[in-house]
Amino acid sequence: MQLSQSVAVERHEEPGLGVVGAIWIDNPPVNALSQHVREGLAAAVPAVADDSEMQAAVLVCRGRTFIAGADIREFGKPRLPPDTNEVRRMIEKSPKPFVAAIHGTALGGGLEMAMACHFRVADRNARLGLPEVKLGILPGGGGTQRLPRLVGVPRALEMITSGEHITAAEALDLGLIDAVAGSEGEGGLEAGAFRFALRAVAEGRGLPRVRDIESHRAVVRENPGIFDEFRRRIARRTRGFNAPEICIQCVEAAAALPFDEGLAREAELSRTLHADPQSRAQRYYFFAERAARKIPDVPADTPVRDIRRVGVLGAGTMGGGISMAFANAGFPVSLIEQNRDALDRGLATVRSNYERSAARGRFTADQVEERMALLDGGTDQDALAECDLVVEAVFEDMELKKRVFGQLDRIARPGALLATNTSYLDVNEIGGVTGRPEDVVGMHFFSPANIMKLVEVVRGEKSAPDAIATAMSISRAIGKVPALVGVCHGFVGNRMLFQRRLQADRLVLEGALPWDIDRVLYDFGMPMGPFRMSDLAGLDVGWSAETSSSSTLREMLCERDRRGQKTGRGYYVYDTTTRAAAPDPEVMDLARALAGRLGIEQREIGDEEILNRCLLSSVNEGAKILEEGIALRASDIDVIWINGYGWPVYRGGPMFWADEFGLDRIVDVLDDYAVRFDAEQWQAAPLLRETAAAGGRLSG
């Protein structure tokens, strides 16, 4: 019986057990809770109830997944009836038991629908979760009220505020599901769920409703401070975000209020978050990341090259991290260094990184050994002939990289993808030394490459479409977020970062304190400011004692062996035991001396000017990058900054933030700075000025 465009009910008889109503949802690609799905489900409940032969109902989905959540195409639009919560109430009040048969993923509204059913059965490979917090919203379909009742308050708090997914086995242990189907040869999920439903009827298990569970309140009575303790524990990872705190308040309501009052509180707080600018920013980013996959002249069906083995040339910090990223995804890696000592150091660092992760519980000892076994270290570049992708990660020197690519051209097999990890240099010049520039791309990983998610995929003027498609695809395969960029010095991220750093250094010479600049950017939401970051990376990276001339504050610090955290002093001075950073007046003494030599008059500088100069200089450069076609779209720039530089996702990225700040306001500030400071430096990009005049947005 077809009840709507996407929902049908079928009678299914299990010999010796009875008849079940199979409610099939077929709404590809992810069976989202679109209006026609809700409409069909609302009709299915009475259809099953009115059929005298059907003893139970099983909610089951066609395709690759259970209900994966709300229909994102309906975000921000008026909701057409029926309301999803009304559908859940109908299921919950059904006179016959409803069983959710979960495969693929049950996320957000999908899991909330499953929790409204009387029983839940999952395929062993299913994953379940409430990821709404990642969009700056909360599970507003009863998720914050039902999950604590099923899994307990502590685990519900963790799942809801992190948005994490859990496996079917974990869900069974927690009590979120009632059975894993097919685990005992029952013939798969559907057959197992049908039998489970009919056995539940035969065994007289009734109509257990999650809303009626009260046991979750006990842990709060025994530990009244549980919520404040949890707030303290997650404070660091949720700094600046609004949604996690609101989610906690919803779970508090679940523990303190009757179910319907808790639902009302959830609905009230859900409306608050939907109107929150942070949610708008996080939802924007959700679509921005997906848009970054689309390249107009490289269609989605462009064939990709088969990558089975990866070569990494260079076992230093970047090469080791890149090797780990591929090994973590199961790829065999040939890691090549120029001599055995350098190779041994690199492999030892990789093992040390894995063992530290294992000590923190991220890997088991066996998983460490499995990953190390995928790394085949050597000093003979001929081993790279067996690789389908070779990533060069040698020192950032053009002549060295050209020499390496000339060698790779002779060694690598035909059709192998040759990628440079350069962060600044011209990919066209590097590829030009080969006889196959169509196979050459940039894959700019960010340090530490085994952790940071961004890869800037750099398209050379002769890079083949399938080479670009492969670089994008393999980046996603190893859990990265790729964004396509064109060739220019620094590409997108570092080119914009350079402008911010230029202003930060200039502000110090004009009288701002380095720690004040760091504080302002940290309070904005960045993980750390530019001077703390420099100390962490090492001030002597790229510095040479032979050529140093005290012409910059960084040179003056390095000349005094203040090279950052590793020497105990840099822009800050560091406690030898805790590594805690403290301001050091000597740094400002040096800055004042340098400013005097350069004829720069120092003054007091407020937080607003610090923030504007650091951010607007980057935004202006981003507009120039768009004008030049280095980035395809403003949202790609935002993806780069969120995943590569720690820009807070709740501010949407620098270009989205600029639109929210107001492009006309930005142009006014830039014009003011052009008069007060450097006219050329602060000249507003034509695209920025034109878009502001038209009342438009850079980010769409």
Are residues 199 and 78 both part of a single domain?
Answer: yes
Q: Which domain holds residue 415?
A: 310-476
b/e per residue, 135-152, with b = 16+ CB within 10 A? Answer: bbbbbbbbbbbbbbbbbb
Residue 446 CA: distances (Å) to CA of 423, 457, 494: 9, 12, 11
Please count the structural domains in the chain.
Answer: 3
Tokens read off for 184: 């005992």
Are residues 431 and 555 both part of a single domain?
Answer: no
Q: What is the dihedral of CA 379, 382, 387, 391, to 10 degrees?
A: 50
Q: Is pLDDT above 80 for 73?
A: no
Q: Active-site positions?
A: 112, 132
Q: Say if 680 falls within a structural domain.
A: no
At residue 23, the 3 state secondary structure works out as strand
Q: Is pLDDT above 90 for 76?
A: no
CA–CA distance, 119 with 99 (Å, rounded to integer): 5
- Residue 218 confidence class, pLDDT cut points 50, 70, 90: very high
* Residue 46, strand partner residues: none
Residue 22 CA: distances (Å) to CA of 2, 98, 190, 192, 400: 12, 10, 9, 12, 65
CA–CA distance, 380 with 339 (Å, rounded to integer): 9
Q: Is pLDDT above 70 for 123?
A: yes
CA-based nearest residue to 213, from 129, 123, 128, 92: 92
Q: What is the CATH number of the domain that holds 575?
A: 1.10.1040.50
Are residues 51 and 164 both part of a single domain?
Answer: yes
Are residues 227 and 102 both part of a single domain?
Answer: yes
| Average pLDDT score over residue span 219-223 | 93
Which residue has 């909360």 as its token pair? 138
Q: Say if 352 falls within a structural domain.
A: yes
First-residue to last-residue Cα distance in the chain: 43
pLDDT at 575: 94
Q: What is the CATH number of the domain that holds 435?
A: 3.40.50.720
Residues in the chain: 700
% of the chain surpassing 70 pLDDT: 99
Q: Is pLDDT above 80 for 293?
A: yes
CA–CA distance, 94 with 91 (Å, rounded to integer): 5
pLDDT at 70: 82
Are residues 246 and 323 both part of a single domain?
Answer: no
CA–CA distance, 173 with 190 (Å, rounded to integer): 21
Are residues 247 and 339 both part of a single domain?
Answer: no
For residue 410, the surrounding DSSP H or E stretch is helix 398-411
CA-based nearest residue to 424, from 488, 339, 331: 488
CA-based nearest residue to 678, from 527, 462, 510: 510
* Mean pLDDT lowest among 133-147, 437-451, 456-470, 528-542: 528-542
pLDDT digit string (tens) for 390-429? 999 999 999 999 999 999 999 999 999 999 999 999 999 9
CA–CA distance, 16 with 171 (Å, rounded to integer): 30
Q: Is pLDDT above 80 for 290?
A: yes
% of the chain surpassing 90 pLDDT: 94
Are residues 182 and 69 both part of a single domain?
Answer: yes
Q: Say if 292 falls within a structural domain.
A: no
Q: Say if 227 falls within a structural domain.
A: yes
Q: Is pLDDT above 70 for 666?
A: yes
Q: What is the CATH number of the domain that holds 17?
A: 3.90.226.10
Are residues 218 and 328 both part of a single domain?
Answer: no
Q: Say if 632 falls within a structural domain.
A: no
Are residues 229 and 326 both part of a single domain?
Answer: no
With 0-12 / 13-18 / 19 or more C-beta atoms within 10 angstroms meaning exposed / middle / buried, residue 295 is middle
Are residues 43 and 93 both part of a single domain?
Answer: yes
pLDDT at 72: 74
What letter does residue 303 receive in the DSSP assignment? -
At residue 105, the 3 state secondary structure works out as strand
Evaluate whether 60 touches 25 at the Cβ level (below 8 Å).
yes
Evaluate whether 485 touches 456 at the Cβ level (below 8 Å).
yes
* Neighbour order of strands in the sheet with 417-420: 375-378, 333-336, 310-313, 389-392, 417-420, 440-445, 454-458, 481-485
Q: Say if 564 falls within a structural domain.
A: yes
CA–CA distance, 72 with 289 (Å, rounded to integer): 14
For residue 234, the surrounding DSSP H or E stretch is helix 226-234
CA–CA distance, 37 with 97 (Å, rounded to integer): 20
- Tell me whether the omega of the peptide bond preceding residue 95 falls within 30 degrees of 0, making it cis: no
CA–CA distance, 134 with 123 (Å, rounded to integer): 25
Are residues 121 and 185 both part of a single domain?
Answer: yes
| Average pLDDT score over residue span 118-130 | 98
With 0-12 / 13-18 / 19 or more C-beta atoms within 10 angstroms meaning exposed / middle / buried, residue 695 is exposed
pLDDT at 186: 57
CA–CA distance, 499 with 524 (Å, rounded to integer): 18
Are residues 248 and 348 both part of a single domain?
Answer: no
Tokens read off for 507: 């502000």
CA-based nearest residue to 347, from 326, 316, 318, 368: 316
At residue 168, the 3 state secondary structure works out as helix
pLDDT at 415: 97
Evaluate whether 627 touches 648 at the Cβ level (below 8 Å).
no
Domain boundary among 423, 450, 476: 476
Q: Say if 633 falls within a structural domain.
A: no
Q: What global pTM score does this model have?
A: 0.94
Evaluate whether 116 touches 174 at the Cβ level (below 8 Å).
no
pLDDT at 184: 46
Phi, psi of 70, deg, nearest 5: -70, 160
Which residue has 């995804």 as its token pair? 329
pLDDT digit string (tens) for 441-472? 999 999 999 999 999 999 999 999 999 999 99
Domain boundary among 577, 598, 619: 598
pLDDT digit string (tens) for 368-397? 999 999 999 999 999 999 999 999 999 999
399 Cβ neighbours under 8 A, 6+ residues apart? none
Q: Is pLDDT above 80 for 75?
A: no
Q: Say if 630 falls within a structural domain.
A: no
Phi, psi of 685, deg, nearest 5: -60, 140
3-state secondary structure 490-522: CCCHHHHHHHHHHHHHHHHHHCCCHHHHHHHHH
Q: Is pLDDT above 80 for 182?
A: no
Computed over every residue of the chain, the mean pLDDT equals: 96
Domain boundary among 598, 622, 638: 598
pLDDT digit string (tens) for 86-97? 999 999 999 999
